[in-house]
A and B are shown apart, each in its own frame.
Chain A
């Protein structure tokens, strides 16, 4: 579903991604872990087509970036730590606007379904700026699934949320993944992402330095896996767990 080969991203003299290789199969939920400044957000911005790779190949659903960016965007749902919502529009108006941007058919019925899904149907006519951070993030997920994308990209969606809001967001995330969507999510919250993802990749120094499935890591060993990956920086898939 997602194929990345020898990806390099430079900002002037600074090299952020150094020949990164990454694959995600259809229906996988991959957690992308790594310290601050490792290049996670830069990598996700390239996958979303918001940033161009300096070198390397990126294909999503068989479409190459950046050449076929529009076809890729049609298949992507993106949630970042910013909600990408307009505070002076209601929840319903925000979804209607994005539904029109994505050409969603039968949009009123779809908006209704999505608001029910994220548990905001009763607040549909309230302005988004009156929403709590957790509610805004749930609506952001609703915005991202409006057009029923094959691939969902989440960039630290739990940032700034309290425990209750995180738990509600997790329910929505499980729901999103349950329909067989491919999900890539960056996070620093290992405890939370450990319950959600099926595979864990560690990005450090502009490369994937470790990759393992949930079964390979075993229960309650994600923190150890992560620390070993960052400290020892072994080559991908060579880590002793």
Chain B
């Protein structure tokens, strides 16, 4: 057995570098296993397929329901991803490993939230063209893309915080949606309305209130999560 040489003096890792380390770790692990992305993708595709057959819509009505169907799909698939992302930390005790590191615990929150956002955006990037083909609706609209990004940020901001809480319980799979959906209703309503506005080419004055609501909720939820995460992970 070789002796252990002393380590060189440590540097204090910054918030940014530890956030990126956690993000890198989540992306690397997911690229190998593809457990989370494949589950989210299959679920999302099934949802839009079921809506397609269940609603059996006339072409004229399809555009009207698009934003609602899209956001229902993103929300359901997102919940699956949020649950799985924190469960992988908890099941092998890795959450303790993160909490034992001498870093600002906000870095753990931001690292996990950025990872969850990346997974959600990947799913959305795949779902949008599939939806376009299935429903024969053109979704390549810059305004819609921006709303999808903003809605996903708000959803992931609150979802990451709540999944950290629910993962500590035995009923985590049931608890997360029960806690999450009432809190993200304002985000989902604003995102659906703003998305519909962009798809219908409505004037900006009709979209602006929903856009502003989404922006305010994003800022509030990120700020609250940043402030309370330390208490949420404390035993």
Contact = CB atoms under 8 A, between A and B. Distances in A.
Contacts of A84: 92-94, 96-97, 100
A87 interface: yes
Interface string B60-72: 0000000000000
A202 B151 CA distance: 55
Q: Which of A100, A143, A145, A176 has the most CB of B within 10 A?
A: A100
A82 B127 CA distance: 38
A113 B99 contact: no
Interface string A190-204: 000000000000000
B92 A179 contact: no
B101 A45 contact: no
B98 interface: yes
Contacts of B10: 74, 102-105, 147
A143 B8 CA distance: 15
Interface stretch (A12-20, A47-55, A208-216, A229-237): A47-55
A89 B29 CA distance: 6
A85 B235 CA distance: 21
A101 B13 contact: yes
Interface string A84-107: 111111000100011011111110
B33 A82 contact: no
B88 to A, nearest CB: 8
B101 A106 contact: no
Q: Is the interface of B mostly helix, strand, loop or mixed?
A: loop
Nearest to B32: A88
Interface string A29-55: 000000000000000010011111000
Contact of A101 (B5, B29, B88, B101): B101
Contacts of A206: none
A105 B12 CA distance: 10
Contact of B101 (A102, A171, A175, A176): A102
Contact of B11 (A82, A103, A110): A103
B55 interface: no
A97 B4 contact: no
B182 interface: no
B100 A104 contact: no
A93 B28 contact: yes
A108 to B, nearest CB: 12
Interface in B48-97: 88, 92-94, 96-97
B235 A45 contact: yes
B7 interface: yes
Contacts of A179: 3-4, 6
B67 to A, nearest CB: 35
B92 A82 contact: yes
A83 B28 CA distance: 19
B25 to A, nearest CB: 5
Interface residues on chain A, size class: 35 or more
Interface in B1-42: 1-13, 17-18, 21, 24-25, 28-30, 32-33
A101 B19 CA distance: 9
A98 B96 contact: no
A137 to B, nearest CB: 12
Contacts of A78: 96, 100
Q: Which of B29, B97, B234 has the most CB of A within 10 A?
A: B97
A85 B25 CA distance: 11
Given A105-B11, A175-B3, A80 B93 contact: yes
A76 interface: yes
B23 to A, nearest CB: 11
B94 A85 contact: yes
B150 interface: no
A127 interface: yes
A113 B7 CA distance: 9
Given A97-B21, A102-B13, A104-B7, 7 more contacts: A88-B30, A89-B32, A104-B8, A105-B11, A119-B1, A147-B10, A175-B1
12 contacts: A71-B102, A73-B100, A73-B101, A73-B102, A84-B92, A88-B33, A100-B13, A100-B17, A105-B8, A172-B1, A175-B1, A175-B3
Interface of B: 1-13, 17-18, 21, 24-25, 28-30, 32-33, 88, 92-94, 96-103, 234-235
